[in-house]
């Protein structure tokens, strides 16, 4: 039934990729711990996953009581936008809610850092996707020393509480850390500089962030360790096709487990059929 023998081995993709002990230096961004070994195989799998995701999403939408929220974090060029395009793009756009968090605006800074996050939560029945998230508010402040260690600890606590609250209110989080190597980042940034159609994606500030690579890895390590009551998944992202495949499977397994159901009609089916058949508006 499952081509990777995961069912046989009783191991899901979520189990394999789940980050229990966060040690980023031990994680290989070019690895493929589970799943397809080739781009072609991954593409076939992604198409099949797309069909099933689309069906599950329609049931989730019809059920209209719960939602899923994909949280995408990773260094520049790790492929957050690519996942939105190639994975979230597999399902009906009407059932999707995408939010992208950039540097907070002046108006956003007038509020608690979770304010803009709460405002962007998916409605019931939707699959939400966050391109960056509240985790930026514990990464940047640590790297840039904008908050003390005690203040950061306070935020980790708040984030755990916030994520518990989401779970309690029917929002299932799928937190993905898209892990890339600095070498692959360099290639991708160069590609943005080389292709006139990609120049707009490049920002000179990207290199400033890049130059703080190890500081960001430390900040990620600390954030992921301290905010893992809701699990994080490791998504090796040096290969784009593997990254997309992995996220699609994490989402698929999550939705399968949620098992959304088309609701029973709240009206009398036969009576409505009779009304409809007898109803001729042009009479």
User: Which residues make up the interface to a copy of itself (CB under 8 A)?
Assistant: 58-59, 62, 81, 84-85, 88-89, 92-94, 96, 98, 100, 131, 182, 186, 189-190, 193, 196-197, 199-202, 204, 207, 210-214, 262-265, 267, 269, 272-273, 275-277, 279-282
**Shortest distance, CB of residue 272 to a copy of itself, whole angstroms?**
6
What is the torsional sign of CA 209, 211, 156, 230?
A: positive
Residue 208, classed as helix, strand or coil, is helix
**Shortest distance, CB of residue 10 to a copy of itself, whole angstroms?**
31
Instruction: Quote the tokens at residue 218.
Output: 């430390």
CB 42 within 8 A of CB 244: yes
Q: Between 14 and 201, whose beta carbon lies closer to a copy of itself?
A: 201
Q: Which of 23, 45, 51, 60 is nearest to 246 (CA)?
A: 45
CB 131 within 8 A of CB 98: yes
Q: Between 185 and 228, whose beta carbon lies closer to a copy of itself?
A: 185
Q: Between 39 and 186, whose beta carbon lies closer to a copy of itself?
A: 186
Q: Between 132 and 155, whose beta carbon lies closer to a copy of itself?
A: 132
**Shortest distance, CB of residue 270 to a copy of itself, whole angstroms?**
9
CB 122 within 8 A of CB 61: no
Query: What are the distances in angstroms from CA 96 to CA 68, 125, 126, 240, 265?
Result: 10, 9, 5, 22, 24
Q: Between 163 and 238, whose beta carbon lies closer to a copy of itself?
A: 238
**Shortest distance, CB of residue 12 to a copy of itself, whole angstroms?**
26
């Amino acid at each position: 039934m499952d081509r990777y023998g995961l069912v046989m081995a009783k191991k899901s993709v979520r189990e394999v990729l789940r980050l229990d002990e966060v040690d980023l230096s031990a994680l290989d961004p070019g690895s493929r711990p589970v799943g397809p070994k080739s781009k072609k195989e991954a593409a076939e799998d992604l198409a099949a996953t797309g069909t099933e995701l689309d069906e599950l999403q329609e049931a989730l939408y019809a059920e209209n009581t719960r939602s899923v929220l994909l949280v995408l974090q990773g260094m520049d060029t790790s492929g957050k936008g690519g996942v939105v395009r190639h994975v979230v793009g597999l399902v009906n756009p009407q059932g999707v809610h995408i939010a992208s968090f950039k540097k907070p605006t002046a108006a956003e800074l007038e509020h608690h850092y979770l304010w803009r996050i709460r405002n962007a939560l998916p409605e019931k029945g939707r699959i939400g996707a966050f391109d960056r998230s509240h985790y930026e508010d514990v990464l940047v402040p640590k790297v840039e020393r904008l908050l003390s260690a005690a203040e950061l600890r306070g935020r980790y606590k708040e984030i755990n509480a916030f994520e518990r609250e989401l779970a309690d209110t029917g929002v299932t989080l799928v937190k993905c850390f898209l892990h890339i190597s600095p070498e692959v980042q360099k290639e991708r940034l160069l590609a943005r500089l080389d292709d006139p159609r990609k120049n707009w994606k490049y920002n000179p500030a990207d290199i400033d962030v890049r130059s703080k690579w190890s500081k960001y890895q430390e900040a990620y390590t600390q954030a992921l360790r301290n905010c893992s009551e809701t699990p994080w998944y490791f998504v090796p992202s040096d290969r784009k096709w593997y990254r997309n495949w992995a996220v699609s499977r994490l989402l698929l397994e999550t939705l399968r487990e949620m098992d959304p159901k088309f609701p029973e009609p709240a009206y009398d089916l036969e009576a409505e059929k009779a009304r409809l058949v007898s109803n001729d508006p042009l009479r």
